[in-house]
Structure 1
Amino acid sequence: MHSLRNGERRFRAVLSQRPHSTPLIHCRRASFMNPFAWVKEKLGAGLREKPTQKEQEAGKLQAQREGTGNVFEAVPVPTKKALKRATTPLKPKPTSHKYSTANFKISHRKLNMLGQQISGKPIDYAILQMQFSEKRASSRIMNMLVTAKDHARRYKQLKEPKLIVAEAWVTKGPRQPGQLEPRGRGHYGIRTHPNSKLTVVLKEGKTLEQQKAEKRKNQLRKVVSAALAREDRPIRNPAPTWGW
């Protein structure tokens, strides 16, 4: 204990004799205060330090000028966006839009008549048919067609003037439990309320004007014009009765 105190007194006496302008690290070696510096000084005297980023870039540029650069460094490194674009397959553009009504109370035979009425027709013509139809379910079908037309234009980017009802079919809904219906003379019957829904597929096709123009063109092509010589060809578009 006394020896430690004596050593401390001697160290303080040395500090008091040293001028204040001279720092303590100058009077001793740096390795005395930092053991890592001593290891670097003793063991790593001949080792080369890692070059900085600027030195590495300067060396690469010099190697490229001399033609001794690395082959793999000359190839441009693809970015993350380019890698994602290369690995992600491109989605094909949608060509159709499928839509259907909910199951509602109607017979599938009755609903099938409306499906046959709009199948193969342009979407605007099908909406017009449902607007003036006398069937009770025509209003529901008209609203469904308007919604399907809007969704096809908004979500599938299909051209609205070229949309046609390519397909239309009816599906039976879940069977509801039957209800007892009393009859005369102690008899009874079972009444069931069927459910069904209509599904349509909209695709891009020929408009109504294009269909009419194509039909007229085909009819005109079949007409045989009057000539000086008689043509041995069958009569096209014959009249219902004799012409005289």
Structure 2
Amino acid sequence: MLSTSLRSLRRLATTTAVVPSSILLRVSSRDCSRRWSSRQCVSPQKGSVGPSNSSVSGVFHRYIQNSGIFTSRTLLAEGDATLTPTSSPLIPPKLSKNSGKSDNPSILKPSKVQAVLKGIRQSPKKVNLVAKLVRGMRVEDALLQLQVTVKRAAKTVFKVIKSARANASHNHGFDPDRLIVEEAFVGKGMYLKRISYHAKGRSGIMERPHCRLTVILREITEEEEAKIAKIRVMNYKKLTRKEKQLVPHQLIETTPTWSRRTKETFVRTLNSNPSY
């Protein structure tokens, strides 16, 4: 009897769009009263009525989930055309089939993007020395500076800044040429303790420090961009002014010839002391 009722429900699911919940309750209660004892059936006060999900086929179970019987999202207002269905705030927003993004257009672009690297096997004090160097710099300038920095932590900071720039440009649509390092700070990680062997059978505790690095990027404003351009022009003028001073022939003329005494001092000495 149970198999025939389930077979009829499957046939009804393939022919109709929505299966009424009253039919499910009526068939399940009838099968429960005929085939099962009272101990095997669950009372309506304690739980749901009917067979378990294991007895229902996977196709029919997926049909019930996708048909929207237990949700109010696809319900239409009957009788009054002015009413519109409203979804529960506890249900997540429905996603479209073509794209993985939500249909809500009110998602704002973040002002800052970050990248975090955990488990760095180095002291946080040493990593912070390099992180302090690139704070407030443009991303392109920071990457160039880290390439010529002779520090072991420079490679780690370079990798995190590059990852943050990729996150900003790929995930959030930032312009990679207008990014600036807003923050670069180091946090203390797990300190592992190891045995340090000393002389004469003694021992001590040796610590293996770990840390984590966080880099936060943002786009520069128009005022900051104008200020950076002004500083570049001033630095170029200073550099060209110094280059003009370094003229080779002037350096050769001003270079004095080495001597213990010049001619003028020798003549002055003779005039002051004729006996010399």
TM-score by length of 1: 0.50
Pick 1 or 2: higher relative contact order, CA cutoff 8 A, min separation 6. Answer: 1
- Return the index of the structure with the highest Cα Rg: 1
User: Going by fraction, where is helix more abundant, 1 or 2?
Assistant: 1
